[in-house]
Amino acid sequence: MSTYQHIIVGLDLSEESKQILEKAHFLATAANAKLSIAHIIEPLVFTYGGDIPMDISSVQEQIETQATTDLAKIGQEFGVAPENQYIVIGQPANELQTIAAEHNGDLIVVGSHGRHGLSLLLGSTSNSVLHGTHCDVLAVRVTS
């Protein structure tokens, strides 16, 4: 049985992100695998349907700057090198799949909230990653 070589962790930079990264870090250490972390920022234009009557590019830049700072902080805490930290603008599931494909990721780790019902077993991002990727996906159940 082969072990994982490169684990990509998708983080939303919430408080629960550390729970996800702790488990991924454990797996990476056990498998002697490379660990990368990624945060995907959805464009504000997508979020609000393009119906914003003002220029929001400076707000988008502020979001990117804060995300870069936050990702670097959690990356440093878990020993993830800066070159293995990714901030990307786009649709989370698609971008995580792209990062994994471009960087030879063989496991994507994402968080999943403990909701009820078959359609809520995985969050929409987790579910989309699972159904569109070439590699394994691990959904880590997070608690608030």
Q: Checking DSSP bridges between strand 34-41 and strand 107-113, what pairing results, if any? A: unpaired
CATH number for the domain spanning 38: value is: 3.40.50.620
In a domain, 7, yes or no: no
Query: What's the pTM?
Result: 0.84
The domain in which residue 80 lies consists of 12-142
**Residue 3 included in any domain:** no
Backbone phi, psi, residue 49, to 5°: 70, 20
pLDDT tens profile 118-135: 444 445 666 677 777 889
Total domains, the chain: 1
Query: Would you say residue 31 lies in a domain?
Result: yes
**What percentage of the chain has pLDDT greater than the value 70?**
79
Three-state DSSP class for 48?
coil
In-domain check, residue 134: yes
Crossing angle for the helix pair 17-31 and 57-77, to the nearest 10 degrees = 50
Instruction: Please check whether residue 65 lies inside any domain of the structure.
Output: yes
**Does a structural domain hold residue 19?**
yes
Distance CA 23, CA 47 (A): 30
